[in-house]
Amino acid sequence: MINNINIVDVETGKTAYNQFVLIESSRITRIDSVPFKPIDNSLRIDGTGKYLIPGLWDMHTHSNQHSEWLHHPLYIANGVTGVRDMSGQLNEKDSYWVGSKERLQWNKELENNTRVSPRYVLQSSYQMDGEKAIPENSPNFFKLQNRLQVDSLLQFYKNEKVDFIKIYAQLPKDIYLDLAKKAPIYGLHIAGHKPMFLSLEEAVDSGQRSFEHGRIFLYECFPEADSLKKTNNWKDYFSRSKKKMVKQFDSVRAKELMVVMRNNKTYWVPTLQTLKFEALAHKDSFTNNENLKYITKIRKKLWWQYDVDHNKEKNIENEGVNVSEQFYEASKKQVAMAHKLGVPIMAGTDVTDSYVFAGFSLHNELYELTSCGLSNVEALQSATIVPAIFSNVEKDYGTIEIGKKADLVLLDKNPLDDIKNTKSIKGVLLNGVYYDQGKISELKKFSEGAASSFHMNVKTLVSLINSPLIRVQFAD
């Protein structure tokens, strides 16, 4: 029982004060404005002066074989009770990436209260990027070299209980269109990046349900956008002048595309944290982050430091004009435009990219979304009810209502007054189980200890070296 709590309604933006909430096993069974007789042996939580919000969802993450030590405790400690994981596997268990098998097992154990894990909503395939991203000895159909292989791929992932095919930049146009057309026949959808060989409008029209990252309109709405689609060189595609994209941005075209997205109910997950990193990598005030203690030395040395140095150099050599910062600011303006025009926005962070921290960064993303012009309640929606609707599970998640799952966050302060108040976490309910302050600091300590342990660092290194998927992804 949670007594005398203030419930934040993320749909209306109103607060219902001094409420009494009953949770039985994993669901909310009663909400009342007057106290009711306590059930014997029930855990009674005093909610006086506190605020209750639905568990937050991070709609763009990448988990791996070490997430149960390094990420899951931090998600829960931060009130992130659901994630949409954007990675996957091929036919074999990968030493580094996880697939639907691991994630569905974690979900089952969470449901039995034998594991501390966020809910993994919507299972992803491995990223489909044409033949280059597939290790040589994998079954041929993963390479998607012709349309006959599309059915084999869809059948394979249907059997793996995957929900969507993750699209990547280099997928050939005819294959992409065929995949988009046939996916629904197998009960799947497509989501992810926009392939570089076709326009955003074509991709939206083909039924892709979500587009990831802040750059999508910048790459699409400038005079040379069409010539980008003719490239067959990935590096060329991404090294095109960001300066030009910002300077010559065609906001009329962007608005047209946003309207098409709204009309098709296409979602956008801008993952602003990644662009923010690129923009601010040269600043010590940004890179000196207290959460670095949750990151393994191996990741910091092999991956993050390389990213910092590379972006630092770029930002400094641009003679006072930080193009990455302009790019970041421009994409924020586009989030504001898209939101105004009715494109559904979802909060996502891109954990484990550089300087993105499991759990912690979602709160920063919510703040960033408000700085783009979303109201506090709209930012909350982007991590609660909007993702629940996107995932087709609004019957069980997304708001605080009788019958829904008890994934809830208790806050000291009202996030409707200031979105930063989502960080004032007093307690977390996951599948009806309560984590108080003591448990929350245990969770954080656990991940901190794992990240600094020799054992975990060796394990991470070995799993990276042995992963054929990592080898092809970092080949170029």
Q: How far is the CB of 127 from Zn ion (least distance, A)?
A: 9
| Nearest alpha carbon to residue 250 among 321, 195, 200, 319 | 200
Q: How far is the CB of 179 from Zn ion (least distance, A)?
A: 19
Q: Which amino acid is at 203?
A: A
CA distance 323 to 367: 23
Are the C-beta atoms of 469 and 447 separated by less than 8 Å? no
In sequence order, what are the residues at sequence separation of 6 or more whose Cβ sits closer than 8 angstroms to the Cβ of residue 187? 158
CA distance 203 to 381: 26
Pick 51 or 277: Cβ nearer Zn ion? 277
Are the C-beta atoms of 63 and 83 separated by less than 8 Å? yes
The two tokens of residue 218 are 């910048």
The two tokens of residue 393 are 């599970």
Q: How far is the CB of 132 from Zn ion (least distance, A)?
A: 18
The two tokens of residue 320 are 């006072």
**Residue 129 sits in the site that holds Zn ion (CB under 5 A):** no
Binding-residue total with Zn ion (CB under 5 A): 2
Pick 63 or 149: Cβ nearer Zn ion? 63
220-229, long-range: CB < 8 A, 24+ apart: 220/194, 220/253, 220/254, 220/257, 221/249, 221/250, 221/251, 221/253, 221/254, 221/257, 222/248, 222/249, 222/250, 223/248, 223/250, 225/199, 228/196, 229/196, 229/197, 229/198, 229/199
Name the percent of the chain in helix, strand, coil, to the closest 5.
Answer: 45, 15, 40
Q: How far is the CB of 269 from Zn ion (least distance, A)?
A: 9
Q: How far is the CB of 69 from Zn ion (least distance, A)?
A: 21
Pick 102 or 350: Cβ nearer Zn ion? 350
Residue 187, sorted as left (phi over 0), alpha (psi -120 to 50) or beta, turns out to be left
Residue nearest to Zn ion (CB): 350
Pick 178 or 350: Cβ nearer Zn ion? 350
Q: How far is the CB of 212 from Zn ion (least distance, A)?
A: 6
- Segment lying near Zn ion (by CB under 5 A), choices 39-47, 155-163, 297-305, 346-354: 346-354
- Segment lying near Zn ion (by CB under 5 A), choices 254-262, 283-291, 350-358, 450-458: 350-358
| Strand boundaries in 213-353, DSSP class E | 267-269
Q: How far is the CB of 452 from Zn ion (least distance, A)?
A: 26
Pick 50 or 66: Cβ nearer Zn ion? 66
Map the footprint of Zn ion across residues 81-100, applying CB under 5 A: 86
Pick 88 or 130: Cβ nearer Zn ion? 88
Pick 238 or 249: Cβ nearer Zn ion? 238
Residue 457 CB coordination number (10 Å): 17
Among 350, 365, 378, 407, binds Zn ion (CB under 5 A): 350
Q: How far is the CB of 469 from Zn ion (least distance, A)?
A: 14
Pick 162 or 419: Cβ nearer Zn ion? 162
Find residue 15's DSSP bridge partners.
Answer: 8
Print the binding letters for residues 304-343 with Zn ion: x by CB under 5 A, - otherwise. Answer: ----------------------------------------
Q: How far is the CB of 60 from Zn ion (least distance, A)?
A: 6
- Segment lying near Zn ion (by CB under 5 A), choices 37-45, 79-87, 296-304, 407-415: 79-87
- Segment lying near Zn ion (by CB under 5 A), choices 184-192, 307-315, 347-355, 383-391: 347-355
Give the binding site for Zn ion (CB under 5 A). Answer: 86, 350
